[in-house]
Structure formats: C-alpha cells, structure tokens
Amino acid sequence: MTLNDTLVPTYLQTLAALSAWLGKAADQLPEDKAAAIMSARLAPDMFPLFTQVCFACVQAQEGMARLRQEDPPASVDTLRNKGLDAGSGAQTIADAQAVIADTIGIVETASAETPELAPDTAVAHALPNGMVFDLTAAQYVRDWAIPQFYFHLMAAYAILRAEGIALGKADYAAHMFAFIRPGTMPQPD
C-alpha cells in the first residue's frame, strides 16, 4: 500500500461523509437553527463547526501538497484564515458544503498528479506558529496528516450530535457499506 493509497481514499470518502452529515443537519433543523449551527461549538475555547470543516479541508489539501513535495498552495492559507475568521460572519451549511466540494476536487486533481513518494522521503512540516517538524513521508501521513484530519472531522461530528442532529456510526462509516457481503445485512424486525 502506498502513501497515496492511504490518504486519498481517506480524504475523499470522509469528506463526502462530512458533507452528508451537513445535509442531514439542513434537513433536520428549522431554518433559524440551521442558520446558526455553523457557529456552534463544544466548549467556549474550541473553534465552531464552520472552522472545524475548514480545518479538516485544510488538512486534506495540505496533505496532498506534502505528498507532492510542495509547499501548500496559497488557497490553504486562505481557507485557514476563513476558518479562523468564522466568528466574525454568518456562514451557512451551503458555504461549508462548498468548501468540502472544492477540497474534494483539489484532492481528486492532486491525486492524479502526485508521483509516488518513498516512505522514507524527508518531509518538513511547518506550522503557522513557526514550529517545524522533520518527518519521513510515512511518519507525516501516520502521525500528522491522518490524526489532524480526523481531529477536526470528529469535532464537527461531535458538534452536530451535540446540536441534536440524528447521526450514528453508520453515518460515520458509510463508506463501509460498499464492502458488505451480500445477504449479511441485518433486516429490520
């Protein structure tokens, strides 16, 4: 299995799930609550839902750039700043889904253009605060790209659940239904 084989499907299937969760929120909430949910947060010192969506997308876009041995494009900083600025404006579920759709497109395009990177290739990962991590490509994928992506994804999931959106494990792992052996799906009583 290659690093691309690890990251690309993870990003694509999970971003699609995130968009579906937001779709469920739009369907389940009255209009006034749907308009406010993007500013919901789990704790006062945590980022709101819209920021969590933006940051999950930042992680995916940045991860693809690192696998191409490139600095993240300016669009990553733009998206990060959009997430950081989430408290100053009204974002909608549609805005968040547009960010996700753009990111899916970027990941799909990048995956077609990304040469296979050897797992021991050096990757320098700089954070906006000035810290730099020196990792191998395998360490970057395992220890940074995947955990950081899922951190923001799970924060978004938790915010949606805390706001009363009916989501469950089947929503989280919807991509797994493609692998169900025929005849083994439990039937309702």
Q: Is the pLDDT of residue 186 over 90?
A: no
DSSP string for 113-144: HPPPPPTT-EEEEE-TTS-EEEEEHHHIIIII
Taking only the tens place, the pLDDT of each residue in 54-77 is 999 999 999 999 988 888 888 899
What is the pLDDT averaged over residues 17-39? 93
Q: Determine how many CB atoms are found less than 10 A away from the CB of residue 5.
A: 11
- Give CA–CA dist 165/27, Å, rounded: 9
- Give CA–CA dist 82/50, Å, rounded: 9
Domains for the chain: give ranges and CATH numbers.
3-179 (1.20.120.450)
User: How sure is the predictor about 85, in pLDDT bands with cuts at 50, 70 and 90?
Assistant: confident
**pLDDT more than 70, % of the chain:** 98
pLDDT at position 31 is 85
- Give CA–CA dist 25/28, Å, rounded: 5
Taking only the tens place, the pLDDT of each residue in 105-154 is 999 998 887 788 899 999 998 888 999 999 999 999 999 999 999 999 99
